[in-house]
Structure 1
Amino acid sequence: MSAKLIKQTHFDAIIIGGGACGLMCAVQAGFLGKQTLILEKNDKVGAKILISGGGRCNYTNLYASHQQFISENEHFVKSAFAQWTVDDTISFFETYGITGKEKTLGQLFPQSDKARDVVKVFTDLCHDLGQQIQCNADVKQVEQTAEGFKIVYESYGEEAELTAPRVVIASGGLPIAKMGATDFGLRTARKFNLNIVNTAPALVPLTITGKDQPWYEQLSGNSIFCRVWNDRASFDENILFTHWGLSGPAILQISSYWRPGEFIYIDLLPDQDITQLIQEERTVNGKKMLLNFLTTFYTRKFVEALSNHLPVEKNLASLSKTDLESIHNLIHNFKVKPAGDKGYDKAEVMRGGVSTEELYSKTLEVKKIPGLFFGGECVDVTGWLGGYNFQWAWASGFVIAQNI
């Protein structure tokens, strides 16, 4: 990676953003004999790859399909996923020394558990294929010209211009600012009068404020396997109580489908019926207190917190029909109205982005601006937690590379 301005002037395409999409695009273009340049704002490429999965990089999901993505056009990703499949991702990384290991729910991680190994595959290939990378390159503007596009960028205190017949915007979304995230992709789309689907943090913890906050604070650190749902989606995974609200995989998942002012619902004992379990237990041991019975399923701290809402001091035999209904409703239909979310700094991804109506699904080229492409997170395609967003990044990078 050069610490000087690029001297070469001719490129088949300039790729703005050295994240997952941009890196895959450069490598795949190199395989086709095309010359590309990556302009990366950070001092190294792959910043978000390096922190993903706690530095272990959940680089795809065995079950990825269009069904795990949120977009105004739910069918848009089908073409890209037909061109670059999960098997293609697995084979690509295996070819360059990364064997995957499955964890929960189809999530695939490198055997080494090192995200830097994933980034190294791309930097090594870029070097071998003659694809150039310019880090510390802050792109100021993209302008359309008679010959293609002019890129104005600043690097190491100097301003420079480059031209190319094609430009790829793979600059990511708004999370996470400290990792170099900016609204560059959205600004560029607006400059070219492209429609943008409203953006918001996604895969993000939810906050609880006001009179309910102390109840959540006392449970900070408690993790429970639950079913979390609203009228749009449902997820069976762990939730985590925090001093400011709720987190954990199930909460991050539902956050992508939640809107301010809405409720979410939590089944604290999915696939079981608490009423039936109580009925069975009290035929054997009716003197057992509800508190002790519930500690079969939850930590004592959590059960004690439920004492605000349930008659935990009663023994099972003395529970009335009304008591049982209250217990059932609380355990299986725990109602939460989040105050908000933790914002882009804690979000895994951005929801919304460049409208898919503006792009050809087979090429990801802008319909009304030949030679301009958008891929990765800045497009209105948002995946679930668990490697899905990486699969979209690899697929979109591949597809663009075939067409630049």
Structure 2
Amino acid sequence: MTANLKKQTDFDAIIIGAGACGLMCAVQAGFLGKRVLILEKNDRPGAKILISGGGRCNYTNLYASAQQFISQNPHFCKSAFAQWTVDDTIGFFEAYGISGKEKTLGQLFPVTDKARDIVNVFANLCADLEQQIWYNTTVKAVEQANDAFEITYERHDREQKILAPKVVMASGGLPVVKLGATDIGMRIARKFGMAVVDTAPALVPLTITGKDQPWYEKLSGNSIFCRVWNERISFEENILFTHWGLSGPAILQISSYWKPGEFIYIDLLPQQNITELIQQERVVNGKKTLLALLSGLYTRKFADALADRLPVQKNLASLSKADIDLIENLIHQFKVKPAGDKGYDKAEVMRGGVSTDELSSKTLEAQKVPGLYFGGECVDVTGWLGGYNFQWAWASGFVIAQAL
């Protein structure tokens, strides 16, 4: 391989990554008359956008605010969200032919249900604004070079260098490796002496091993509306039993607040009280078995599975106080100690990243390195499931573009 130094003065900035943040930054910079170059590892833009929401792309959430984000500084994202609001996101996409439809809990999808439509907006705008994207380009290093930055990259099997006055790290996080995910954003930050908050998979399924694993395995495919909680937070959505543990929206949500070794708790009947149901049914039909009652509340498969843990063959009239206490605890405080999670390849996003202490909340410029910006998933700002992380990506891309 040969290394050539290529001076390029035409670009106001180089953006590393053609994901949600990088694409929005390029477009918004173009609106302001600034020319940028995006360096993208994949052979197309928006790889993660395309697979999000099962290929439908939940591109924002009507209720997005700083409250739905995890960060060592929970106030950090407020400035970006004040500069680029949910209404701005909706208006931006509507201006380019994409109307949104709300599914549940404020989640907004394109009416076409096609993530490709979201990516096409940016691809078309980048072409119209003459913003360049170099695909199949792997960034190796970013160094300061006098009043500019020298980016070392590999393209067409050749290692080359390019100079730019400003650099935007919109390189994403560690999920999903097969889509080209790397730790380049964190590596560049550390190289410049910036702190990085420990990273971990977030919005990720949880695994169960040992003696309990076969019980979960036989329930694989069963989905139940639950309340899932720990000492920090709770969520009410569906959980999904799988052959390796637990998934579904409520589990993905709680996973961002779970640490190895901790328990999580599940209320399997969050909108009713099982003890009250038993007492009411006793009056009507005391001979009814607990199994029959549970079969009316859950799938028969799930009710049968509870036979391993509850006296399901007893009729309601013969249930003792100890039996009812057991039932109450299991149904409303089902205790789970996950063995781990499914890792970055099954995670929606990454928790942690470049410390917000290192960045200006207004511009996302590195405090120690003027001209270097960090946005999107590589920053320690992690949203809930349901379009929140896209809203952060759009907002961070927008605010960086204003400062270039």
Decide: shared fold, TM above 0.5. yes
Match of 2:90 in 1: 90
Shift of 1:154: 0.9
Task: Say whether 1:28 aligns with 2:15.
Answer: no
Match of 1:277 in 2: 277
Alignment map for 1:224-239 (pairs within 5 Å)? 224-239=224-239
% identical equivalent positions? 77
Cα distance in 1 for residues equivalent to 2:204 and 2:280: 39
Task: Say whether 1:395 aligns with 2:399.
Answer: no
Shift of 1:211: 0.5
Match of 2:159 in 1: 159
Match of 2:295 in 1: 295
Cα distance in 2 for residues equivalent to 1:40 and 1:263: 40
Match of 2:54 in 1: 54
Cα distance in 1 for residues equivalent to 2:329 and 2:212: 18
Letter in 2 for 1:138: T
Aligned partners of 1:253 and 1:385 also within 8 Å: yes
Letter in 1 for 2:401: A
Alignment map for 1:100-249 (pairs within 5 Å)? 100-249=100-249
Shift of 1:9: 4.3
For residues 288-316 of structure 1, the C-alpha deviation after alignment (integer angstroms, 9 at most, x for no partner) is: 11100111110111111111111100001
TM-score (norm 2): 0.98
Aligned partners of 1:172 and 1:185 also within 8 Å: yes
Shift of 1:267: 0.0
Letter in 1 for 2:104: T
Match of 1:44 in 2: 44
Aligned partners of 2:206 and 2:251 also within 8 Å: yes
Letter in 1 for 2:78: K
Cα distance in 1 for residues equivalent to 2:210 and 2:157: 48
Aligned partners of 2:224 and 2:238 also within 8 Å: yes
Aligned partners of 2:7 and 2:162 also within 8 Å: no
Secondary structure class of the residue paired with 1:380: coil
For residues 217-239 of structure 1, the C-alpha deviation after alignment (integer angstroms, 9 at most, x for no partner) is: 01000000000000111000000
Aligned partners of 1:10 and 1:163 also within 8 Å: no
Return closer, same or farther for 1:8/1:142 CA change in 2, 3 Å cut-off.
closer
Secondary structure class of the residue paired with 2:297: coil
Letter in 1 for 2:247: S
Match of 1:73 in 2: 73
Unaligned runs of 5+ residues in structure 1 are 1-5
Task: Say whether 1:63 aligns with 2:52.
Answer: no
Match of 1:352 in 2: 352
Cα distance in 1 for residues equivalent to 2:145 and 2:362: 25
Cα distance in 2 for residues equivalent to 1:7 and 1:371: 17
4+ residue segments displaced more than 6 Å: none
Shift of 1:8: 5.8
Match of 1:251 in 2: 251
Unaligned runs of 5+ residues in structure 2 are 1-5
Cα distance in 1 for residues equivalent to 2:151 and 2:114: 34
Shift of 1:272: 1.1
For residues 204-260 of structure 1, the C-alpha deviation after alignment (integer angstroms, 9 at most, x for no partner) is: 000000011001001000000000000111000000000000000000000000000
Secondary structure class of the residue paired with 1:201: strand
